[in-house]
Structure 1
């Protein structure tokens, strides 16, 4: 018998989104809406188990509006007789007075529809589904302990699901709550639902199917691979996974080279072919510009900000500084001292002097950008 489940994690309800300024509340509202849409998808797919692998909330002490919203959405699942399994993550970790240590979800737990993991490793047996769910509660913001420490999976005809929050050891950085891929491969689980990484990723090991669901909605403009939820069918020692779209916003990265001499209106039209009004736009401007040139990056930025939810402009341009311009920097300024210090290193060797001149151009460009940002 196979089990149909839905896997999400890292929703981060209540996140501050400080980089969005006055629009932060719109993104927090969107997170609640996206979470409700996950419940819609679970009901439509008639899943039997809804899994949250950590960081449902952005803090152990979420605002009432977010707790009430989750209670309402969990109630919809319970009304359809769908079981819910939640492991606290490092953001909504289990600690004294925290949301998962209290009684906010007691009625759902008492009904048998909800399991919140509160120990190092627990096994939740669900006879009606012929399933055992293994999970671990996170109790620290940063931990060097693996959430799989102490895991013992019994041989059984039941479907065996694991829910853990931590970082797989496939990078040089061990990360938070490190998970060994070798241990994962030997776990004996049919499917492992992972949380902590915000991008969807298949990290299956050996015969064990394991995935990071990623955040169901984008949380940062630099983030790629978020905005999905996973629908899983597991049993008989195997699992199949479908990625479903859940995010309402996306990130569009656009590059502009000043050598193309494109007007701001044309840049806007090019971006609008790929990004919609609710999206994040990251514009990288490259190339060489002359001091006092006609290109106005500030005006372009304002134009884009009127059209999209969030705009970030990365200025990677270089200034073209001739000898006449370099001489205009007084020796009493930082730029002036920098220029003269490097020029004094000219030796007459063409290759060496060329490197020095390039360093002068780059250094002065960076100094001028720093002055502009101040």
Structure 2
């Protein structure tokens, strides 16, 4: 069988609003806003340099249903680059950019093929005479809960290459994402395809090696929970075997690190230890870093206060927005289980507060924030809190309570 090479990417979320990061200095926020585009441009650059046969995008090209003309124009320019290099592009749309929503759109180059709302087969010819059969469908509405995998035809034993494109989630698995178009690995394996190009889950995962059933993850982390390298897969299929290479392309890396203060007690020691850890994360690009402090028993109340009131954090952030390879510490906090926690059976004021905060649901948030968001003047200047922001506030409050009640002068 002739060798076939392609790029598999998904979950571009171009033009993501990054609402929870608007508090950043302007220089950093501009880089954040451009980060999804920068990552995708690097993916296209790799495709052109490697002279791949085609390019696969498994859903959620855009972040919102009403995709901006800016995002479409920038995407079109990258498709034109691929067109000039003779590289075809095969696309399925997912729950964020489904077909059924009305939107003003730009015409894309002729090398771009978008799959329709029903499972269909598209044939990509290769220079060696072999054919690649690609199967997929695009969401026609935001919530696709049917088991669409059942509608994919089994591969014919014809010596050709067969690839499935699917935006969905493994049935029965728990994740932060809605269980759209659920499937089982058994279902996918039974199709006898050479590769399954998945999308929807933002964490890179290789669910199966034979055949490869792969989530590339999203191309750019957008908040503190989307940590680690982001990018795409370069795939080569030759003699019935697939070789996979992950390519890191993110503009900004989200990372988390833990620092033990077991042997430290002075402010200068804590400061230098954290600064040294920051330098370890300085790399080709920007980094948003969360630092978690553990083993703080020897730390005095004055140092703890400077951690708690944000004074040390401000010192770490000072001037970083002007660095090309910045390391922006967005969170400096004491590990949650350090100090006092909820003690079962003890009806103390502190226990009640901790239990109350840990049990907050959406209704609790709405009740607590309704006065602010419904205020005739204030509501114009604030955005609704995102899920990640709510979780971060809860963690900060719990950490503050634990530190305040556990350590005294």
TM-score, structure 1 normalization: 0.78
Specify the alignment match of 2:17 in structure 1: 16
Please give the alpha-carbon distance, in whole angstroms, between the structure 1 residues aligned to 2:184 and 2:198: 13
Specify the alignment match of 1:94 in structure 2: 99
Q: CA deviation at 1:225?
A: 4.3
Q: Provide structure 2 residue ranges, at least 5 long, that are not aligned to the other structure.
A: 321-326, 341-347, 354-397
Q: CA deviation at 1:235?
A: 5.1
Residues 240-280 of structure 1, C-alpha deviations (whole Å, 9 max, x = no match): 11112212332332223444223323321232123347201
Specify the alignment match of 1:29 in structure 2: 34
Instruction: Report if aligned partners of 2:6, 2:54 keep a CA contact under 8 Å in 1.
Output: yes
Specify the alignment match of 2:288 in structure 1: 280
Structure 2 vs 1, CA of residues 249 and 239 (structure 1 numbering), >3 Å: closer, same or farther? Answer: same
Q: Is 1:198–2:202 an aligned residue pair?
A: yes
State the aligned residue count.
Answer: 326
Specify the alignment match of 2:366 in structure 1: none
The one of 307, 312, 328 equivalent to 1:309 is 328
Specify the alignment match of 1:133 in structure 2: 134
Question: What's the secondary structure of 2:40's corresponding residue?
Answer: helix
Structure 2 vs 1, CA of residues 292 and 117 (structure 1 numbering), >3 Å: closer, same or farther? Answer: same
Q: Is 1:164–2:166 an aligned residue pair?
A: yes
Larger Rg: 1
Structure 2 vs 1, CA of residues 64 and 170 (structure 1 numbering), >3 Å: closer, same or farther? Answer: same
Specify the alignment match of 1:342 in structure 2: none
The one of 250, 263, 267 equivalent to 2:274 is 267
Structure 2 vs 1, CA of residues 368 and 250 (structure 1 numbering), >3 Å: closer, same or farther? Answer: closer
Structure 2 vs 1, CA of residues 310 and 69 (structure 1 numbering), >3 Å: closer, same or farther? Answer: farther
Please give the alpha-carbon distance, in whole angstroms, between the structure 2 residues aligned to 1:191 and 1:15: 29
Instruction: Report if aligned partners of 1:60, 1:95 keep a CA contact under 8 Å in 2.
Output: no
The one of 217, 221, 236 equivalent to 1:218 is 221
Instruction: Report if aligned partners of 1:57, 1:92 keep a CA contact under 8 Å in 2.
Output: yes
Q: CA deviation at 1:88?
A: 0.5
Please give the alpha-carbon distance, in whole angstroms, between the structure 1 residues aligned to 2:399 and 2:43: 51
Q: CA deviation at 1:5?
A: 0.4
TM-score, structure 2 normalization: 0.72
Residues 164-203 of structure 1, C-alpha deviations (whole Å, 9 max, x = no match): 1111236246833212111011112111111111222111
Question: What's the secondary structure of 1:26's corresponding residue?
Answer: helix
Structure 2 vs 1, CA of residues 364 and 36 (structure 1 numbering), >3 Å: closer, same or farther? Answer: closer
Q: Is 1:177–2:184 an aligned residue pair?
A: no
Specify the alignment match of 2:61 in structure 1: 56
Instruction: Report if aligned partners of 1:319, 1:365 keep a CA contact under 8 Å in 2.
Output: no
Specify the alignment match of 1:299 in structure 2: 311
Please give the alpha-carbon distance, in whole angstroms, between the structure 2 residues aligned to 1:285 and 1:364: 11
Instruction: Report if aligned partners of 2:63, 2:97 keep a CA contact under 8 Å in 1.
Output: yes
Moved more, 49-58 or 234-243: 234-243
Moved more, 166-175 or 177-186: 166-175
The one of 250, 255, 271 equivalent to 1:252 is 255
Moved more, 169-178 or 24-33: 169-178
Please give the alpha-carbon distance, in whole angstroms, between the structure 2 residues aligned to 1:126 and 1:257: 55
Q: CA deviation at 1:292?
A: 4.5
Please give the alpha-carbon distance, in whole angstroms, between the structure 1 residues aligned to 2:8 and 2:97: 18
Instruction: Report if aligned partners of 2:117, 2:140 keep a CA contact under 8 Å in 1.
Output: no
Instruction: Report if aligned partners of 1:198, 1:226 keep a CA contact under 8 Å in 2.
Output: no
Show the 5 A alignment for 1:99-110: 102=105, 104-106=106-108, 108=109
Cα root mean square deviation, aligned: 2.9
Question: What's the secondary structure of 1:203's corresponding residue?
Answer: strand
Question: What's the secondary structure of 2:48's corresponding residue?
Answer: helix
Instruction: Report if aligned partners of 2:227, 2:256 keep a CA contact under 8 Å in 1.
Output: no
Instruction: Report if aligned partners of 1:13, 1:28 keep a CA contact under 8 Å in 2.
Output: no
